[in-house]
Amino acid sequence: MRECNTEFPTMKELETLLFRKLQEQFAVGMTRILEALDECLMHQRDHSRYRLKDQREVQIDTIFGTVRFKRRLYQDRVKGRHVFLLDQMLAFDGREKLSPFLEEVATKFASQGPSYRDSANRLEALLGYRALSHEAIRDKLIARAEQEANVLPEATRRVAHVLFVEVDGLYTSLQRHHQRGMENRMAIVHEGWERNGSRVSLKYKRHYLHTTKGDFWEGFGDFLVRHYDMDENTWLVVNGDGAKWIGECESYFHRCIYTLDRFHVARELRRFLGHLPKAWQTVRQALAAFDSAALFAAVESVPEEKIREENRNEWRKYVAYLRQHRRHLIDYREVLREAGIDTTGMRPMGSAESQMRVMAKRTKRGGYSWSVRGVQAMLRAIMARQEGSCLSGQTIAKKQVLQSNSMVRVKDLLREVKEQAKGYINGTIRMLHGPYQSSPAGLALKALRG
């Protein structure tokens, strides 16, 4: 009768218990593997250079929980300092007390928003313990962003005959600063467009954030030289909202086409002409067709008295502004075709606004105010996520190759960890077939329920 009245766990209870138990199993396996690697390094080291001094225990927080293990300290006779060979091989600083992967997850959560505190809470909900406070996540993100900014790119530079540049500024509020806010000037560089199913994405997208005191285009020029193999035949197609500092690009680069962002033009024209359906329709079609002659004919044909009285002064200024930028309303592809460049697959510019929207969502929503270091670090983190990379804070280390017998030992340990986890799962299944109430799994789940 007792077996008929079995109270089975809920799905949440079973999933939680199994996940926590597997975390424990993998933490044990992680310790064994790290200590085995450290032992292999002890035997394979250059004995004439590295003198074994001590074996010290360290603990780091990982996605499995806290992992404690011992690693050996050596004296480097050549450089005259103490080193942990295990740290060098794994490109990891054991003093950090935090695994690189867990740190990467934390900074990704922080860059997605909405806040550092929410990121810490989400991390705790995932791992089952408080790995990092919101202040610690903020400090990690700033430190890694500044470290990444000082790392020079690899020697190989991409070759591109045409580079597309979307430029814009993002205003953010500042705290504890003599200025109430600052404009973060940035550029998005890509090499064209590619279709992924029904979606179109930018090819080889890179971001530039201007953080120096010098001119924006001078800093951006240095950025291009570091990442691209450019010469006098390289074309730059720059798209911007018409700000004076953006328009200065034409005086800095030999072959530069500056285009006025059609999103901003359409938004302003709709503000003035939205209540005039026919005029607005004509203007919108001319703008979409890159027909500047038809655009100006439609704009200038609108009588000023049809513009709302409160907008007439602004309307006159905006029409004068459009006349000033008339040559920037052309289709850049026509200029490239005249220069003998194949424009197949090239699309209209104008992705800056959607890119900026992602950054504004994290930095401006909720009325946030930032320190200068904090907002620049956050923007770098978002840029890294947009490029499909992360703020790892890890420099590229030269890989050390272990002898084949050492790698066999590591593979054996990995297999043991896998079998232990499988054994736990199978054991849990067998327990559920018996009298559940008095089984270890049943008692554990009862304790879990509290």
Tens of pLDDT, residue by residue, the chain (450 residues): 455 445 666 788 777 777 777 788 788 888 888 888 888 888 888 899 999 998 988 888 888 788 888 999 999 999 989 999 888 888 888 777 788 888 888 888 888 888 888 888 888 888 777 878 888 888 888 888 877 766 655 557 888 899 999 999 989 888 877 788 888 999 999 999 988 888 888 898 999 999 888 899 999 999 998 899 888 889 999 999 888 999 899 888 889 999 999 888 999 999 999 999 999 999 999 998 989 899 999 999 999 899 999 999 999 999 999 999 999 998 999 999 999 999 998 999 887 777 788 888 888 877 778 888 888 888 888 888 888 766 655 544 444 544 555 556 666 666 666 666 566 556 555 554 554 445 454 555 444 444
Where are the strands (E) in 361-407, listed by range?
369-370
Asked whether residue 10 falls in the same domain as residue 140, the answer is yes
Asked whether residue 12 falls in the same domain as residue 114, the answer is yes
Given 3-state DSSP classes, what are the helix, strand and coil percentages for the chain, each rounded to the nearest 5? 50, 20, 30
The CA-based dihedral angle spanning residues 219, 223, 229, 230, taken in that order and rounded to the nearest 10 degrees: -30
Asked whether residue 336 falls in the same domain as residue 399, the answer is no
Token pair in block for residue 226 = 């570091």
Q: What is the pLDDT of residue 442?
A: 52
219 domain-assigned: no
118 domain-assigned: yes
Domain residues for the domain of 306 are: 262-348
The residue out of 348, 381, 403 marking a domain boundary is 348
Task: Sheet containing 50-62: give its strands across.
Answer: 50-62, 65-76, 81-83
Asked whether residue 22 falls in the same domain as residue 140, the answer is yes
Asked whether residue 276 falls in the same domain as residue 409, the answer is no
24 domain-assigned: yes
Asked whether residue 336 falls in the same domain as residue 402, the answer is no
Q: How far is Cα 9 from Cα 27, in angstroms, rounded to an integer? A: 25
Provide the terminal-to-terminal Cα distance of the chain, rounded to the nearest Å: 25
Q: How far is Cα 14 from Cα 21, in angstroms, rounded to an integer? A: 11
Asked whether residue 37 falls in the same domain as residue 109, the answer is yes
Token pair in block for residue 15 = 């999933």
357 domain-assigned: no
269 domain-assigned: yes
Asked whether residue 128 falls in the same domain as residue 44, the answer is yes
Nearest to 285 by CA among 277, 294, 276: 294
Q: What is the pLDDT of residue 407?
A: 56
Q: How far is Cα 171 from Cα 124, in angstroms, rounded to an integer? A: 32
The amino acid that residue 409 corresponds to is R
Asked whether residue 342 falls in the same domain as residue 422, the answer is no
Q: 157: part of which helix (H) or strand (E)?
A: none
Q: How far is Cα 209 from Cα 188, in angstroms, rounded to an integer? A: 9
Token pair in block for residue 210 = 């201007």
Q: Decide: pTM greater than 0.75.
A: no
205 domain-assigned: no
Q: What is the pLDDT of residue 258?
A: 94
Asked whether residue 7 falls in the same domain as residue 121, the answer is yes
Structural domains in the chain (count): 2
Q: How far is Cα 326 from Cα 56, in angstroms, rounded to an integer? A: 70
75 domain-assigned: yes
Residues 6+ apart with CB under 8 A from 4: none
Q: What is the pLDDT of residue 398?
A: 44
206 domain-assigned: no
